[in-house]
Structure 1
């Protein structure tokens, strides 16, 4: 520590502290794993694996033969033939269709009433029952597939009945709705990748977390913070050196994550479901620009929270709770979709979330939106830095517990 004090007196305090913290933490295996492996690489890999598994499972249910238990298949042979033509494989009847669906033994069960044939021959309306569980998201594709086949068959037979009576099929449908979907293949990607901004924020958070803890609570616990503050150097310069080191690790972590998503994004079969996903250089550049002020803000908040802790373990607990904050904007936009207003871009985390969502949609972000996002996040970061600097002036921080 005496050697460190001499270096601070000879050279610039900011640069000396920055280089010292970077070199020391490059030798720390836990910090390296968190900053350069766990968050940056594991996140993209897990994200792509989950997306691929989900897409492949949904595609299988939409394209491959679909087994469906049918009760009363003998009462409606023509309907069964139509279902078979659509890829449905009628299965053996089950004793209790409702219980079968609840136990997840089948995604959907079809029941045909015994009086189906009699009512059909009289030209009376007939009814079939579909048993399914709407709370099971993985069963929605199967339910929609069977439901569409039954409804298409019903419309086709209804049209034939009208023709047999000398009437135009259009008589039964005096009003037709022409749907004009304005979604583009790229904008549809937002439906599946809405949590992507959260991955970037968590990467920044994880990249600097252990470093922020070690440079405050860790040094306090090791009793190395007190001699460092004893140097005739303004404490804000020491703080700036530490924050620069945390920001360097967080930014490196973000860059690795952006590179990881650019690579693994090519393996997502988005085109198979009519989506287009571009996570290349253009996307990465704008995400980096939007996230840079957030790097400083999160670094200052982590340092502030860790400075209140008396031990390394206590700081981990506090910062783990702080980690819940970044998920709020993503969760809010997922459950309560809102129309973005200009002022929203000035709110830290929310502005970044909205900007990344626009990039995913292919709409791009305007200069005004970028400016508001940078200004709002930088202002919040400045406040956090000033509060942390004020805390660094306290003698209680310098005294080891």
Structure 2
């Protein structure tokens, strides 16, 4: 163990002098995620909330055919704009979010008590127009319901005849569970932070030393290579753990600046959340350190190792992508799958749930088992004499 400790302290001290490693592992990696995430969320929420509070301006074609409709919409915050010559081109080119077109026979159909049709022209592929379109639809539907009820009353009928079935919605979601759905990408940030925290160190301690031809004299010492490997893995894990800790604390601080309460949500990233995240993420620290070292061992230069690890970085994103695309229901077996278990467990915490002790234990134990297997494979590669040869 003295040999492992010596290698560990040597690598930690040397890499603390490397500005690139320190900035990547302890600054850019752990802090850029919380900062960018909060900036994006704040920008999107502020813009959408401001749009919801402001009157909606919509170009209207044929406003003279339905003055009563226009006046009723104005009472709901509608501001009619002058008509455009080509409404289809206007929405495609984003000159207008939505255009309201009223046909010339609107008044005739209205006086006959028939269904009067209007057109909403918009481009659903434009994300920023979604709020305006939904507000416009809501205004028109409210006007239609109110006028339909008045027609029934004028004929001596009850407005309830329009709704033979009444729907009483009982949403069982909580403010925190809604926040968990919106911020489900957070687990990926934590995994990415671990990856970034140890990536440059794992490259330098294997491919970098191989390129500098310093591995061969190190392996020439009468020391078991697995002890050298454990010392290097310990240094990588130390940087990854520190990076993760900074990231979790960063999200806890930055999360207070997210106006989730304005959307009826509660985002709890306090000490209890942080401790459980660190516990579930601990196996991934060793697993990713072993995988990074293993991949870097097949590279003969620093740049080549960067290319390989850049491809490996896509692996942690798979659970987040799959869970966002596929409607998968949470099950206990998911906690036994590394990366997937952490994704499911942290998402459950964000939703205000509490993973059971058995689920957390399954997540940690299975992750440690896979990490040990990856470490054994890496140790096997370290026994090869070709590892010390750079050419």
Task: Please say whether Structure 1 and Structure 2 have the same fold, judged by a TM-score greater than 0.5.
Answer: yes
2:288 corresponds in structure 1 to 298
Alignment of 1:271 onto 2:261: yes
Aligned-pair CA distance for 1:58: 1.0
Aligned length: 391
Distance 2:101 2:50 in 1: 24
2:385 corresponds in structure 1 to 395
User: In the TM superposition, what are the counterparts of 1:23-42 in structure 2 within 5 Å?
Assistant: 23-42=13-32
Pick from 25, 45, 53 the counterpart of residue 43 of structure 2: 53
Q: Structure 1, residues 52-80: CA drift from partner, whole Å, max 9, x if none?
A: 01101111221111111111111111211
1:251 corresponds in structure 2 to 241
User: In the TM superposition, what are the counterparts of 1:269-348 in structure 2 within 5 Å?
Assistant: 269-348=259-338
CA contact (8 A) 2:124 2:130 kept: yes
Distance 1:33 1:109 in 2: 50
User: In the TM superposition, what are the counterparts of 1:61-80 in structure 2 within 5 Å?
Assistant: 61-80=51-70
Q: Structure 1, residues 361-381: CA drift from partner, whole Å, max 9, x if none?
A: 001211111011112211110
Alignment of 1:162 onto 2:152: yes
Aligned-pair CA distance for 1:112: 0.7
Aligned-pair CA distance for 1:225: 0.7
Aligned-pair CA distance for 1:337: 2.2
User: TM-score, normalising length from structure 2?
Assistant: 0.98
RMSD: 0.9
Q: Structure 1, residues 329-372: CA drift from partner, whole Å, max 9, x if none?
A: 00101111210111111101000000010000001211111011
CA contact (8 A) 1:226 1:400 kept: no
Distance 2:212 2:327 in 1: 48
1:121 corresponds in structure 2 to 111
CA contact (8 A) 1:162 1:168 kept: yes
Q: Structure 1, residues 93-132: CA drift from partner, whole Å, max 9, x if none?
A: 0111111111111111111111111111111111111111
1:7 corresponds in structure 2 to none
Secondary structure (helix, strand or coil) at the match of 1:123 reads coil
Single out whichever of 345-354 and 173-182 deviates more from structure 2.
173-182
Aligned-pair CA distance for 1:163: 0.5
CA contact (8 A) 2:210 2:300 kept: yes
Distance 2:348 2:380 in 1: 38
Secondary structure (helix, strand or coil) at the match of 1:186 reads helix
User: In the TM superposition, what are the counterparts of 1:122-141 in structure 2 within 5 Å?
Assistant: 122-141=112-131
Distance 2:281 2:186 in 1: 13
Distance 1:377 1:138 in 2: 41
1:5 corresponds in structure 2 to none
User: In the TM superposition, what are the counterparts of 1:354-393 in structure 2 within 5 Å?
Assistant: 354-393=344-383
Pick from 60, 83, 107 the counterpart of residue 73 of structure 2: 83
Unaligned regions of 5+ residues in structure 2, if any? none
Aligned-pair CA distance for 1:273: 0.9
Q: Structure 1, residues 12-45: CA drift from partner, whole Å, max 9, x if none?
A: 1100000000000000000011101111111100
Unaligned regions of 5+ residues in structure 1, if any? 1-10
Secondary structure (helix, strand or coil) at the match of 1:348 reads coil
Distance 1:78 1:333 in 2: 48
1:6 corresponds in structure 2 to none
Distance 1:373 1:191 in 2: 21
